[in-house]
């Protein structure tokens, strides 16, 4: 198990992080897992009801991931942050000294820019993008 990453950060960005395929991937490679949910108000609509609904959905998704990891005998910390997604991922990765960041592959400009920026700002941290089939 030479490539077992000690600490991994999993930003919850795509609603696909709870897929069995993704959970299996991160559980197999991590001793310590940190789930990060960023409430990026700049990317939300101005309606509080919409934002509150999104937060509730995201919290339910994080709980589903935690339950799935628990079945694999893995524990994880979950963190909820308000602010800019890139800044929060960068800050948590540095503060918690993670070895690896797992992202679900998404085909949109936000994700592509986020990946590019993370690689520039965190050159010493391995970033793996996982393609989830059929979702």
pLDDT band at 2 (very low <50, low <70, confident <90, very high): very low
| CATH of residue 54 | 3.40.50.620
Query: Residue 14 in contact with residue 61, Cβ under 8 Å?
Result: no
- Count: domains in the chain: 1
In a domain, 135, yes or no: no
In a domain, 74, yes or no: yes
* Residue 72 in tokens: 């694999």
**What's the pLDDT score for residue 4?**
63
pLDDT digits (tens, 9 = 90+) for 14-59: 889 999 999 999 999 899 999 999 988 776 555 455 567 778 888 8
Beta bridge partners of 126: 100
* Separation CA 83–CA 70 (nearest Å): 28
**What's the pLDDT score for residue 49?**
54
**What's the pLDDT score for residue 29?**
82
Q: With 0-12 CB in 10 A as exposed, 13-18 as middle and 19+ as buried, what is 95?
A: exposed
**What rounded mean pLDDT belongs to the chain?**
88
In a domain, 84, yes or no: yes
pLDDT at 108 over 60: yes
Q: With 0-12 CB in 10 A as exposed, 13-18 as middle and 19+ as buried, what is 16?
A: middle
pLDDT at 63 over 90: yes
Calculated CA dihedral for residues 71, 77, 79, 84, nearest 10 degrees: -90
In a domain, 123, yes or no: yes
Per cent of the chain over pLDDT 70 is 88
Domain that holds residue 25: 5-130
**What's the pLDDT score for residue 39?**
86
Give the predicted TM-score (pTM) of the model: 0.88
Sign of CA dihedral 118, 12, 27, 107: negative
């Amino acid at each position: 198990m030479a490539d077992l990453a000690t600490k991994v950060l999993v930003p919850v960005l795509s609603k696909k992080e709870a897929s069995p395929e993704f959970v299996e991937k991160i559980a197999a490679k991590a001793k310590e897992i940190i789930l990060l949910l960023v409430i990026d108000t700049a990317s939300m609509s101005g309606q509080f009801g919409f934002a509150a609904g999104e937060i509730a959905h995201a919290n339910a998704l994080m709980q589903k991931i935690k339950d799935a990891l628990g079945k694999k005998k893995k524990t994880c910390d979950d963190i909820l942050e308000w602010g800019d997604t890139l800044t929060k991922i960068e800050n948590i990765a540095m503060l918690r000294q993670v070895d690896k960041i797992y992202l679900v592959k998404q085909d949109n400009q936000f994700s592509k820019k986020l990946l590019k920026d993370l690689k520039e700002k965190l050159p010493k941290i391995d970033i793996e993008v996982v393609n989830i089939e059929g979702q």
